[in-house]
Amino acid sequence: MGIRSKLSGNEAIAYAMKQINPDVMGAFPITPSTEIPQYFASYVANGEVDTEFVAVESEHSAMSTCFAAQAAGGRAITATSSAGMALMWEMLYVTSSARLPVTMALVNRALTGPININCDHSDSMGARDSGWIQIYSETNQEAYDNFIQAMPIGENQAVRLPVMVCQDGFITSHAVENMELLEDAAVKGFVGEYTPEHYLLKKENPLAVGPYDISNYYMEHKKQQAEAMKNAKAVILSVAKKFEDLSGRSYGLFEAYEMEDAEVALVIIGSSAGTAKETVRQLRCEGKKVGLIKVRVFRPFPMEELAEAMSGVRVVAVMDKAESFSACGGPLFAEVRSALYDLQDRPKAINYVYGLGGRDICVEDFAMIYGKLFEIAETGDQGEVYRHIGQRELGGDR
């Protein structure tokens, strides 16, 4: 039986952490993720968990602490945002290359320059090639559920990779929603104990972690990381099935919403999917065959599965809440367009960069985009492929 509650996204993540009761948390505060270690520190102070809370001097040190704890055989967690994760940059790569399944709550916030504390996905998208599994959350409920699923995924022997669970800063992190929590015992049973095969404190089998990797071996190790990321896809689905059996809530690599007969569709990540779904509901009431795909797992990227889901669509708009400065589109667009390449009759694809630095997007904006997609379907003219929406300049889409 679930426990009904009202929590913010940050509270929900901290509560999941308490239920898991990890060995170590290394953390340094940064908006909008500060509340997560703050709430969790109160659990430590009250004796509700056995976790060793390490208050460090920087985010680089936070990830270094998690790296060391995980290498020693413990289960380690952290939380951060934006420039905080940027300061961890070196350790993100080091942690994944050492195959240490640290679990991080990332509260998405624009990466500073100029300074901005609101939501976009520039922080996590900038780290998309760092070797971390990336799971994104639309709602507070999903943030809670995703964090609980993260550890059985990352710690699986076929994977052994770190996992970042992303949610949108302020939009879900600070907004309060009705939720259904699991019983403590159910979470502990689902996550289980961390029992690594090799670790620094295992005296029967001494090993080194993070030694110099000469050219004779480095590429083999990178190939092993790549294979582990491939393996993660099946593990994510297996863990999701077990979670559904436990909670009744179903998850996959992505959510296909009203896609069965859709002629045009959006591909999107995060909380904006809720607004886009409302647009789909309204347009469906008008008899328009529109659909939506919400990407939950960005790493490993579900290339073949997404292509199949979009194989019957005539035109697709890929929504990027991050700018890649590639001069040809955002990071999600590059991945989705690549996924479509091998389709015999692939849909036309355009890109919208939106929501940077917390810029709002509403139902009317999505309705306008769907209208553009129908125009392209009718005329066959894609026009400009790489677009922005929501900025103040005259002209363009808004």
**Which CATH number is 3-247 given?**
3.40.50.970
pLDDT at 398: 52
What's the CA gap between 199 and 57, in Å, rounded?
Answer: 26
pLDDT at 397 over 70: no
pLDDT at 329: 97
Contact 163, 103 (CB under 8 A): yes
Domain boundaries, the chain: 3-247, 254-388
pLDDT at 394: 54
Strand ranges in 241-286 using DSSP code E only, listed in sequence order = 254-257, 264-268
The type of residue at 318 is: V
pLDDT at 396 over 70: no
When pLDDT is cut at 50, 70 and 90, the band that residue 392 belongs to is confident
The closest of 103, 39, 106, 45 to 74, measured between CA atoms, is 103
The average pLDDT across 42-69 equals 98
DSSP 77: E
When pLDDT is cut at 50, 70 and 90, the band that residue 10 belongs to is very high
How many beta carbons lie within 10 A of that of residue 229, not counting itself?
A: 18
Assigned CATH class of 254-388: alpha beta
Contact 333, 301 (CB under 8 A): no
Rounded to the nearest 10 degrees, how much is the dihedral formed by the CA atoms of 360, 364, 365, 371?
A: 170
When pLDDT is cut at 50, 70 and 90, the band that residue 298 belongs to is very high
pLDDT at 106: 98
When pLDDT is cut at 50, 70 and 90, the band that residue 2 belongs to is confident
When pLDDT is cut at 50, 70 and 90, the band that residue 393 belongs to is confident
How many beta carbons lie within 10 A of that of residue 242, not counting itself?
A: 12
The closest of 359, 353, 348 to 386, measured between CA atoms, is 353
What's the CA gap between 92 and 162, in Å, rounded?
Answer: 9
pLDDT at 39 over 70: yes
When pLDDT is cut at 50, 70 and 90, the band that residue 169 belongs to is very high
> Residues 223-235: pLDDT tens digits?
999 999 999 999 9
> Residues 329-353: pLDDT tens digits?
999 999 999 999 999 999 999 999 9
Q: pLDDT over 90 for what percent of the chain?
A: 95
> Residues 83-103: pLDDT tens digits?
999 999 999 999 999 999 999
The average pLDDT across 113-125 equals 97
pLDDT at 238 over 70: yes
What's the CA gap between 114 and 131, in Å, rounded?
Answer: 27
Q: In this structure, what token pair is assigned to residue 154?
A: 């990352």
Rounded to the nearest 10 degrees, how much is the dihedral formed by the CA atoms of 226, 230, 231, 234?
A: 160
Residue 4, SS3 per DSSP: strand
Angle at 341 between CA 336 and CA 343, to 5 degrees: 110
What's the CA gap between 50 and 48, in Å, rounded?
Answer: 7
Residue carrying the six token digits 């690549």: 338
Fold agreement between 3-247 and 254-388: yes
